């Protein structure tokens, strides 16, 4: 089965929007304190500013992809967000429980794949 390239790109773009915009909505409405506490625990200065800057990157990038407006810039914003969030929240080497450590390690690989999808969008 062959998909029309424009249709395939739009489907992939919208699926990425569901992930990034959906998590932005959930995290910025009901999980702010939890995420800010994790940023503080990671030793990142100005945790509140970092958190809201991350949300801004996530919202801006998602909306740019949603509306197919400068999608290359939107994808780059989401790549920057994904790398920063991964570095802050998925420090598997600091996790003692083997199952949780493995989960965080797996999240890193998933996020690498997401960055790959975003790079493909930038090329389209």
**Residue indicated by tokens 């990671």:** 42
The pLDDT score that the predictor gives to residue 124 is: 81
The pLDDT score that the predictor gives to residue 51 is: 98
Are the beta carbons of 21 and 63 closer than 8 angstroms? Answer: yes
pTM: 0.95
Question: pLDDT tens digits for the chain (124 residues)?
Answer: 799 999 999 999 999 999 999 999 999 999 999 999 999 999 999 999 999 999 999 999 999 999 999 999 999 999 999 999 999 999 999 999 999 999 999 999 999 999 999 999 999 8
> Domain locations in the chain?
5-123
Query: How far is CA 83 from its chain centroid?
Result: 8
The pLDDT score that the predictor gives to residue 8 is: 94
7 token code pair = 């249709």
CA distance 69 to 72: 8
The pLDDT score that the predictor gives to residue 93 is: 94
């Amino acid at each position: 089965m062959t998909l029309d390239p424009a249709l395939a790109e739009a489907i992939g773009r919208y699926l990425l929007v569901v992930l990034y915009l959906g998590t932005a909505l959930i995290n910025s409405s009901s999980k702010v304190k939890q995420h800010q506490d994790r940023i503080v625990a990671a030793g990142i200065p100005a945790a509140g500013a970092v958190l809201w800057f991350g949300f801004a990157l996530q919202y801006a990038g998602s909306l740019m992809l949603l509306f197919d407006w400068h999608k290359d810039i939107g994808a780059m914003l989401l790549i920057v967000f994904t790398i920063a969030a991964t570095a802050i929240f998925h420090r598997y080497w600091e996790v003692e429980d083997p199952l949780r450590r493995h989960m965080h390690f797996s999240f890193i690989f998933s996020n690498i794949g997401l960055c790959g999808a975003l790079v493909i969008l930038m090329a389209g």
